[in-house]
């Protein structure tokens, strides 16, 4: 077995190839375009289901689940397949984008033809989610191929910053278009974004990885590293013991817990008007962009351990005010703090942990390692959603928000103390 650390520290070379180069910029812009288009669809497809097709509450629940589950279920098998590829991944990612463009384009086409039903919409949403899972399995190894190890955290930060902008600008654009165009037609924006992304991806030529001076591994060794379910299960357990992953998963769980509660709390408990809520939620993009742009510098100046600690502290601070706020300025300040500190801290955590995983994992298992990390995050968020809903039903939205802060404090507070006592030492090696 090969031992790797979760987050690399002093092994980075003093000098590395130029970053960002033409290939990363193409991948970065391609990812941003597809994320922005998908953010538009995140608004318009539910509107299409609810308004255009008259979906019931149960059908809307199925739609929300189907948009997530196929990607989650295919991610690990697709990652094992991706790790075994010996062909360029960028053209295959472009093919996934073309498939998604066709799927999104079928929605308005079927609607214009008068044959779009909620059942067909569910099938198309599942197919798009499946293609996204395959795309994600290809993206991790490609990132490692075109980005020097010393810049992987910075590269993940830039990707996270772009995702933050897309998460805010996409719904805003979708809302503006919905005021003028029927929901199924607005989905065309997503289809066009996938086409543009595919055109950029075919220009990415990975070539040899920056650290190609290492001796190539024997085929039998590569085969041992591409193990099956048991090896991935051991990897998941090993990851769960890592402090950075635990902090990240705790934040994901609490984000899921607050997802069904936050808007209800703002409207009913602190009497905030919807237009103001939308305006203040935009601060999430500011925090996410700041975290993404600064994480590379933070890791170089502070080291990975302290960068994780800053991200963890910001995540804990994000919920320190809002659950206890009353109507008026304190609620507005609490929501701004939640969005700014939460997105800033979360971006630092994700970029640092994911960059460390990509740098440390054997090249033959990069996709599987990253898939396992993403699955843990997504599963934590999915588990948190019904927990938050149940707490809100049983005790009210304010107590659900208080419980979210209590969970965050119980998970992150002791971790911050442990990091301080060990002087921000990196986690012990994990077997990959």
| Pair (172, 228) in one structural domain | no
Secondary structure of the chain in the HEC alphabet? CCEECCCCCCCCCCCCCCCCCHHHHHHHHHHHHHHHHHHHHHHHHHHHHHHHCCCCHHHHHHHHHHCCHHHHHHHHHHHHHHHCCCCCCHHHHHHHHHHHHHHHHHHHHHHHCCCCCHHHHHHHHHHHHHHHHHHHHHHHHHHHHHCCHHHHHHHHHHHHHHHHHHHHHHHHHHHHHHCCCCHHHHCHHHHHHHHHHHHHHCCCCCCCCCCCCCCCCCHHHHHHHCCCHHHHHHHHHHHHCCHHHHHHHHHHHHHHHHCCCHHHHHHHHCCCCHHHHHHHHCHHHHHHHHHHHHHHHHHHHHCHHHHHHHHHHHHHHHCCCHHHCCCCHHHHHHHHHHHHHHHHHHHHHHHHHHHHHHHHCCHHHHHHHHHHHHHHHHHHHHHHHHHHHHHHHHHCHHHHHHHHHHHHHHHHHHHHHHHHHCCCCCCCCEEC
Strand pairing of 3-4 and 430-431? antiparallel
Residues 119-163: pLDDT tens digits? 999 999 999 989 988 998 888 888 888 888 778 778 877 887 777
| 213 is a domain residue | no
* Residue in the structure block whose two tokens are 């002087």: 423
| 235 is a domain residue | yes
| 149 is a domain residue | yes
Torsion of CA 36, 39, 40, 43, to 10 degrees: -170
| Pair (316, 269) in one structural domain | yes
Closest CA to 311 of 292, 286, 331: 292
| Pair (349, 385) in one structural domain | yes
- Residue 289: per-residue pLDDT: 79
- Could you tell me if 90 and 205 are in contact, meaning their C-beta atoms sit under 8 angstroms apart? yes
| 210 is a domain residue | no
Q: How many CB atoms are closer than 10 A to CB 313?
A: 17
**Domain end call among 204, 233, 260:** 204
- Residue 334: per-residue pLDDT: 92
- Residue 19: per-residue pLDDT: 66
| Pair (227, 196) in one structural domain | no
| Pair (131, 232) in one structural domain | no
- Residue 211: per-residue pLDDT: 43
**Domain end call among 158, 175, 204:** 204
| Pair (343, 418) in one structural domain | yes
- Residue 13: per-residue pLDDT: 36
| 191 is a domain residue | yes
| 209 is a domain residue | no
Q: Which residues of the chain are modeled with pLDDT < 70?
A: 1-19, 57, 61, 168, 171-172, 175, 179, 206-241, 274-275, 278, 282, 424-432
Closest CA to 314 of 286, 344, 335: 344
- Counting the structural domains of the chain, the total is 2
| Pair (228, 365) in one structural domain | yes
Which range of residues forms the domain containing residue 149? 17-204
**Domain end call among 204, 233, 250:** 204
| Pair (193, 261) in one structural domain | no
| Pair (378, 253) in one structural domain | yes
CATH code at 29?
1.20.1250.20
| 212 is a domain residue | no
- Residue 221: per-residue pLDDT: 45
| 128 is a domain residue | yes
| Pair (194, 284) in one structural domain | no
- Residue 207: per-residue pLDDT: 53
- Residue 377: per-residue pLDDT: 84
| Pair (190, 233) in one structural domain | no
Residues 326-340: pLDDT tens digits? 988 999 999 889 988
| Pair (152, 230) in one structural domain | no
- Residue 422: per-residue pLDDT: 73
């Amino acid at each position: 077995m090969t031992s790797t650390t979760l987050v690399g520290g002093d092994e980075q070379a003093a000098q590395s190839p130029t970053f960002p180069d033409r290939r990363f910029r193409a991948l970065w812009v391609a990812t941003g375009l597809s994320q922005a288009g998908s953010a538009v669809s995140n608004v318009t497809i539910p509107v299409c289901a609810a308004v255009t097709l008259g979906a019931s509450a149960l059908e809307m629940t199925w739609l929300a689940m189907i948009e997530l589950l196929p990607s989650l279920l295919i991610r690990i098998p697709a990652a094992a397949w991706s790790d075994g590829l010996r062909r360029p991944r960028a053209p295959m990612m472009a093919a996934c984008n073309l498939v998604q463009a066709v799927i999104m384009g079928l929605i308005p086409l079927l609607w214009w033809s008068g044959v779009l039903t909620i059942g067909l919409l569910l099938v198309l949403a599942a197919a798009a989610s499946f293609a996204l899972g395959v795309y994600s399995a290809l993206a991790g190894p490609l990132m490692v191929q075109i980005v020097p190890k010393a810049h992987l955290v910075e590269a993940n930060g830039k990707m996270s910053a772009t995702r933050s902008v897309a998460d805010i600008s996409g719904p805003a654009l979708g809302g503006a278009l919905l005021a003028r165009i029927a929901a199924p037609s607005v989905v065309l924006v997503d289809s066009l974004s996938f086409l543009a992304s595919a055109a950029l991806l075919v220009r990415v030529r990975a070539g040899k990885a920056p650290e190609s001076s290492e001796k190539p591994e024997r085929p039998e060794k590569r085969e041992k590293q591409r193990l099956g379910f048991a090896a991935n299960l051991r990897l998941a357990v090993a990851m769960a013991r890592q402090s950075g992953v635990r902090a990240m998963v705790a934040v994901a769980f609490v984000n899921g817990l607050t997802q069904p509660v936050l808007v209800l709390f703002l409207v009913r408990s602190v009497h905030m008007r919807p237009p103001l809520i939308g305006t203040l939620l935009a601060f999430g993009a500011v925090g996410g962009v700041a975290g993404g742009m600064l994480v590379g510098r933070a890791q170089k100046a502070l080291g990975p351990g302290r960068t994780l600690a800053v991200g963890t502290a910001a995540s804990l601070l994000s919920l320190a005010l809002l659950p206890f706020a009353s109507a008026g300025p304190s609620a507005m300040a609490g929501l701004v703090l939640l969005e700014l500190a939460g997105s800033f801290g979360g971006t630092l955590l994700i970029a640092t942990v994911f960059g460390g995983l990509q740098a440390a994992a054997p090249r033959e298992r990069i996709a599987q390692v990253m898939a396992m990390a993403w699955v843990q995050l997504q599963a934590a968020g999915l588990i948190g959603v019904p927990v938050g809903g149940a707490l809100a039903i049983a005790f009210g939205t304010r107590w659900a928000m208080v419980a979210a802060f209590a969970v965050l404090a119980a998970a992150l507070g002791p971790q911050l103390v442990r990091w301080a006592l060990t002087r921000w030492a990196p986690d012990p090696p994990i077997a990959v």
